[in-house]
Amino acid sequence: MNLLISTPLILLLIHRAHTRNSLTPAAILAATLTALIHASHASALPFTLLLTFYILGTGATKVKRAEKERLCVSSEGGHFTPGVGEGRGVRQVLANSAWASLCVLAGRAVVGCGVLEKYLGVSSSAGSEWVGRVVLVGVICNYAATTADTLSSELGILSPTPPHFILHPTTPCPPGTNGGVTPLGLLSGLLGSLSIALIAVFAPWDNENSLFPTTTTTTPLSAKLTALAYFTVIGLLGSLVDSVLGEVLQKSVVDVKTGKIVENHFGGEVIVGDGKDGKGSRRVVGGGRGWLDNNGVNAVMAGGMTGVGVAGWVWLGL
């Protein structure tokens, strides 16, 4: 990507995160490194998708913020305010972007070391083009899934209908419960995934490291529509997988006094209190085992959907 374009944007994002206290200092450093890795790719697509995820995610967080604050309570006491206070932490940043960064770095390593040429007998130019496409597919799948999940969580909590556990659809649960889904949340996730897919497929990207083979001057519309549907489905599946993982592997804690879900500002584990700390007693709802916190679930989901998305793209010959 052109450094004359990416550098001012990165500096602007750093300034915004610092002045608005939306990220901790360590998270700003992690986000800066992430942005630099994305911008190092020859195509502008990885950085653009990172920026799109950031814009859509922060925008969704601000939607009816006051109403969201009333629906959950903070693990530190008081109302839970997404993205406000001490700022989001390093693990929250990396959970949504680390796999995309790894795709970019792995692609550079494979091409730079000539792995395909040495061990598979593939020509340098053909190998570079194929690796370039696979890297972009991985990045797209990562952000389709994480954007769908983020919008589903941030907007689904506002649904007028109560959420139900994804694996037990007849059982209602409090708003914000891990594994809880609503029609509004599913629709929001679908639209988030579609937004990433539209940008990835139809934006006028440069030919170098193109998503589609460069053997022809123009890509058939049918190929673009197939790719659009593929990435949209991958993103929506990511949101559903995140809900399944949340219900099974993540613990949901409710404040007994208010009946509201207790959220950790940094996406970490919520401790079940006994009331002696002055924050009120808490109990676990649902059958989550507590093996992962919210950041862990997001990272596992993003990594899984990135891998599945790349494997499916290669297997289907898209």
pLDDT band per the 50, 70, 90 thresholds, residue 150:
very high
Per-residue pLDDT, averaged over 36-49, amounts to: 93
Q: Are 209 and 138 in contact (CB under 8 A)?
A: no
Cβ-proximal residues to 85 (8 Å cutoff; 6+ apart), any chain: 21, 265
- Which tens digit of pLDDT belongs to each residue from 266-297? 777 777 765 555 555 877 777 778 899 999 99
- Say if residues 101 and 38 touch (Cβ distance below 8 Å): yes
> Over the chain, what is the mean pLDDT?
86
> Which tens digits make up the pLDDT trace of 186-221?
999 999 999 999 999 988 765 545 787 765 567 788
Lowest mean pLDDT among 78-82, 157-161, 304-308, 310-314: 78-82
Exposed, middle or buried by CB within 10 Å (0-12, 13-18, 19+), for 43?
Answer: buried
**Mean pLDDT value of segment 67-76:** 78
* Residue 89 clears pLDDT 70, i.e. is over it: yes
pLDDT of the residue at 65: 84
> Is pLDDT larger for residue 167 or for residue 317?
167
pTM (predicted TM-score): 0.90
Q: Which of 290, 258, 287 is nearest to 272 (CA)?
A: 290
DSSP strand pairing (252-255 vs 282-285): antiparallel
Task: Measure the CA angle with vertex 18, ends 17 and 20; round to 5°.
Answer: 70
> 244-253: buried (b, 16+ CB within 10 Å) or exposed (e) per residue?
bbbbbbbbbb
Among 82-86, 99-103, 143-147, the minimum mean pLDDT is found in 82-86
